[in-house]
Amino acid sequence: MTEPFDAVDVIRAKRDGGAVAEPALRWMIDAYTREYVSDAQMSAFGMAVLLNGMTREEIRVMTDAMINSGERMSFAGLGKPTADKHSTGGVGDKITLPLAPLVAAHGVAVPQLSGRGLGHTGGTLDKLESIPGWRAALTNDEMFAQLRGSVGAVICAAGSGLAPADKRLYALRDVTGIVEAIPLIASSIMSKKIAEGTESLVLDVKFGSGAFMKDAERARELATTMVALGTDSGVKTTALLTDMNVPLGRTVGNANEVRESVEVLAGGGPADVVELTVALAREMLQMSGVDADPADALADGRAMDVWRNMIRAQDGDPDAALPTPRETHVVTADRDGILVSLDAFEVGLAAWRLGTGRARATDPVVHAAGIDLHAKPGDAVRAGDPLFTLNADDAGRFDRALDALAGSYEIGDTAPEVAPIVRDRITAA
Query: E strands, 88-140, where?
Result: 110-114
- What's the average model confidence in pLDDT over 156-166? 85
The answer to whether residue 106 is catalytic is: no
Q: What is the model's pLDDT at position 178?
A: 87
The answer to whether residue 86 is catalytic is: yes
- What's the average model confidence in pLDDT over 195-212? 94
Catalytic residue among 192, 236, 282, 374: 192
Number of H helices, E strands in the chain: 16, 13
The answer to whether residue 173 is catalytic is: yes
- What's the average model confidence in pLDDT over 112-132? 83
- Residue with the bigger pLDDT between 12 and 163: it is 12
Cα–Cα distance for residue pair 13/187, rounded to 1 Å: 19
- In degrees and rounded to multiples of 5, residue 282 shows phi and psi of -60, -40
Bridge partners of residue 236, in order along the sequence: 200
Q: What is the model's pLDDT at position 247?
A: 97
Cα–Cα distance for residue pair 49/179, rounded to 1 Å: 11
Considering the entire predicted model, what is its pTM? Answer: 0.93
Domains of the chain: 7-53 (1.20.970.10), 77-320 (3.40.1030.10), 327-412 (3.90.1170.30)
Catalytic residue among 94, 173, 308, 397: 173
Of 230, 326, 327, 336, nearest to 283 by C-alpha is 230
Cα–Cα distance for residue pair 325/31, rounded to 1 Å: 48
- Condensed to tens digits (0 to 9), the pLDDT of residues 270-280 reads 999 999 999 99
- Condensed to tens digits (0 to 9), the pLDDT of residues 41-84 reads 999 999 999 999 999 999 999 999 999 999 999 998 899 999 99
Q: What is the model's pLDDT at position 120?
A: 63
Whole-Å CA distances, 337 to 173, 296, 323, 385: 44, 37, 34, 11
Nearby residues of 275 by Cβ (< 8 Å), 6 or more positions away: 421, 422
Least confident range from 50-54, 56-60, 322-326, 417-421: namely 417-421
Q: What is the model's pLDDT at position 260?
A: 98
Catalytic residue among 187, 188, 191, 233: 188
Residues in the chain, total: 429
The answer to whether residue 288 is catalytic is: no
The answer to whether residue 114 is catalytic is: no
- In degrees and rounded to multiples of 5, residue 66 shows phi and psi of -70, -40
Average pLDDT, the chain: 94
Bridge partners of residue 290, in order along the sequence: none
- What's the average model confidence in pLDDT over 290-307? 96
Catalytic residue among 64, 126, 166, 372: 166
